[in-house]
Amino acid sequence: MPRLRLMFPVAVGLTACAASPALADPAACLAMEGKSVAASLIALPTTGARVREAAMRPARPGGAPYCRLLGEIAPVDPSAPMIRFQLNLPDAWNAKVVQIGGGGLNGNVVTGEGRLRDAPPGPTPLDKGYATFGTDSGHQTRGNGVGEGASGGDDPRAFAANAEATANYAWASYKKTHDAALALTKLYYAKAPRRVYYFGGSQGGREAMMSIQRFPDDYDGAVATVPTSSWLGSMLASYHHWQIQRAGGWMEADKVRLVEKSALDACDAQDGAADGVIADYKGCTYAKPLKTLQALRCPDGKEAGGCLSDPQIELVKMTRSSAPYGYAIANGETSYTPYATGAETNGGGFVPNMVSGKKEDMDALRGYGVGNIRTFIVGDPALSGPFDPTAYREKMIAVSKVFDMTDPNLARFKARGGKLIMKSNAADYVVAPMSLWRYFENVEKRLGKAQTAQFARLYVAPYVGHGGSGKSFTTGAALPDKVDLLSELDAWVDQGKAPPDQLVLTAYDRDNKRGASWPMCRYPQYPRYRGTGDAKAAASYACANP
C-alpha cells in the first residue's frame, strides 16, 4: 500500500485525493498534523477546524496501531471556547466510525479509546477496527459538574455566559465534530466511511438522540443508554427533591434501607423469586409500595429512629410522582415522569441524587439539576428557595426546545435505514426510567408499533441504577449488568439481523471472570424466574409481561 505523502491541500476539500496510508506508517499519521478542515465542509457555522497534534499509537492486546488526532473547531464568536475533539484512526480500519458521547456537563474530551458504557470485558471498538471520535462539547473544565464538588474548583457552567458555547453544549458541537471528523477520516483513508454510528449514555445518550432527531441523514445507527432526553424535566425534578430534602426530608442510611425494604415487601416476590430484587419494574405499581411506606410513618409524623417522618415520606412519594410544568414545553410534554421504586440503597442512586450522603452537605450546590435550574433558567447562581416553573414559562419553553430531545417523529431516520437501540435502567435515580418508556411509547403512537419495531428497540435492565450496576438487597450480590450493544447495532445495520427480544446481561468479577447472567427484555417485559433451575443463569428466566 503506498505511503501517504505530504501533498495535501492545506484545507481538506471535497475533492481531496490521497493514497491510503501504509500500514502502521508513522509518517502517514504525522502528515495529518496541521491539516485543516474548511468551514464550508462543516454544516453549522464555524471558522474551520484543524489538527493540533497527530501521533501514531501502539497496538493494544487484540488491537492494531492507530493514528490519534487531537483537533479543535474554531467558533464564529471569538470569545467562545474552541470545540476540542479526538479522532482515532486504526491501522486495520473496518470502514466504520463510532461517535462516542460524553457525560454530565462535558468539558473534557471524550477520547474514544476505551470500552463503551455497559460493555463486557474484551476488545474496544478501536481494537475491533472502528475509527472512533468524541468531543468536549465546546468548553473546557475540570470534572463534569455532576457530583457535589465535581468541578474541582472551576465553575463547570461558566460557558453558559456565551450563547455559542451554550448552543454547542446543547446540540451544535456534536454535529460540528461529526462533520470535521468525517472529513479527516476521508482524507486519511482516501475514502468515506461505510457506516457511521453514535453511541452514548446519560448526557451522551441525549447526544445520540439529538443526532438522529436533528440530523437523521448523518447516522446509520445509534445506541442511547439512559439518555437525559427529557433534560429540563430531570433538572426540575432534581430541584424539587433538593427543596424537600432541606425541609426535613433528608434521611440517614438506615432510613434509606427502610424505604427499600418497604418496596421489596410490596413487590419482591411477584417476579417469581423473593431474592431482594424487583424485576417486574412496571408491575410494581406505586399504590402497592405506598401502603408499605405509610406503615413506616413515625408517631405524629415527627422525626424519630426506626421510622419515617412526614417530610421523609413526602420525599419518597415525590420521587414516585410526576413533576408537572403547568403548561406544555417542547413536543407537548407537560410533566416529568416518576423515578424508580426500589434499589434505594444502590450506590450512586437515591443517595446522593435524592438525598445527600451527609446531612451537613444538603445545603451545598447539588451539582447537576440544581445548578442547571439556577444557571439556564433563573440566571441566579445563589437561588435556594422554591422554584415555580409557571413564573418562568417562556424561558422553560425556550430551553426545552434547545436541550430536550423528545421529538417522536423518527420517520426520516427510519426511511434512510437507520436503526436505534435504547437501554433504560429501571432503578435509575438520575434519569427517570419512565421518561424513556414514555418517549418510546410516543414513537410507537406516531409511527405505529409495527413500523417502530422495524428500526427501534427499547430494553430495560431491572434494579440497576444510572451507572448500570445494582445489587440484591438481601444478599448484596452484584446483578448482571454487561452487554455488547454496539455489536447488536452493527449486526442489525450491516446484516439486517434484528436484535432478539431477549438480550443477556452478564456479571464479571474483578478478574473479568464471567458470573451470573439473566435476560434484559424488550420493553415492557421483565425477566421472570421460571421457578426451577439456577437463579444465576439466564436460562432459568423467561421474559414476561408485567
Predicted confidence (pLDDT) per residue in 387-438, tens digit:
999 999 999 999 999 999 999 999 999 999 999 999 999 999 999 999 999 9
pLDDT of residue 14: 41
C-alpha cell at position 380 = 441566579
Q: Note whether 187 and 240 are same-domain residues.
A: no
Residue found by looking up cell 495529518 in the block: 32
Q: Note whether 174 and 271 are same-domain residues.
A: no
Q: Note whether 75 and 171 are same-domain residues.
A: yes
- The DSSP letter of residue 40 is G
CB atoms under 10 Å from CB of 48, counted, come to: 17
Q: Of 139, 194, 143, give the one whose Cα is nearest residue 161.
A: 139
Q: Note whether 108 and 47 are same-domain residues.
A: yes
CB atoms under 10 Å from CB of 539, counted, come to: 12
Q: Note whether 301 and 360 are same-domain residues.
A: yes
- The whole model's pTM is what? 0.94
pLDDT over threshold 60, residue 94: yes
Residue at 367 is within a domain: yes
Residue at 542 is within a domain: no
- Of the listed ranges 58-72, 79-93, 137-151, 278-292, the least confidently predicted one is 137-151
Count of residues making up the chain: 546
Residue at 161 is within a domain: yes
Identity of the residue numbered 129: G
The whole-angstrom separation of Cα 174 and Cα 109 is 12
Count of domains forming the chain: 2
pLDDT over threshold 50, residue 150: no
Q: Note whether 185 and 72 are same-domain residues.
A: yes
pLDDT over threshold 60, residue 6: no
The whole-angstrom separation of Cα 273 and Cα 257 is 20
Answer with the one of 193, 223, 252 that is the final residue of a domain: 193
The whole-angstrom separation of Cα 463 and Cα 402 is 31
Answer with the one of 401, 426, 445 that is the final residue of a domain: 401
Mean pLDDT of 163-173: 98
Q: Note whether 119 and 256 are same-domain residues.
A: no
Q: Note whether 163 and 250 are same-domain residues.
A: no
pLDDT over threshold 60, residue 241: yes
Residue at 291 is within a domain: yes
Residue at 504 is within a domain: no
Strand residues in 27-169 grouped as ranges (E) = 36-37, 49-57, 66-73, 83-90, 96-100, 131-135
104 φψ region: left (φ > 0), alpha (ψ -120 to 50), beta (else): left
Q: Note whether 154 and 244 are same-domain residues.
A: no
pLDDT over threshold 60, residue 16: no
Taking the alpha carbons at both ends of the chain, their separation in whole angstroms is 57
Q: Note whether 237 and 151 are same-domain residues.
A: no
pLDDT over threshold 70, residue 135: yes
Mean pLDDT of 474-490: 97
Residue at 242 is within a domain: yes
pLDDT of residue 255: 97
Answer with the one of 344, 372, 401 that is the final residue of a domain: 401
Q: pLDDT tens, 284-297?
A: 977 888 889 999 99
Residue at 407 is within a domain: no
Residue at 456 is within a domain: no
pLDDT of residue 25: 77
pLDDT grade, residue 151 (50/70/90)? very low
pLDDT of residue 287: 80
Q: Note whether 240 and 160 are same-domain residues.
A: no
C-alpha cell at position 397 = 419553553
pLDDT over threshold 80, residue 173: yes
Domain range holding 184? 11-193
Q: Note whether 183 and 278 are same-domain residues.
A: no
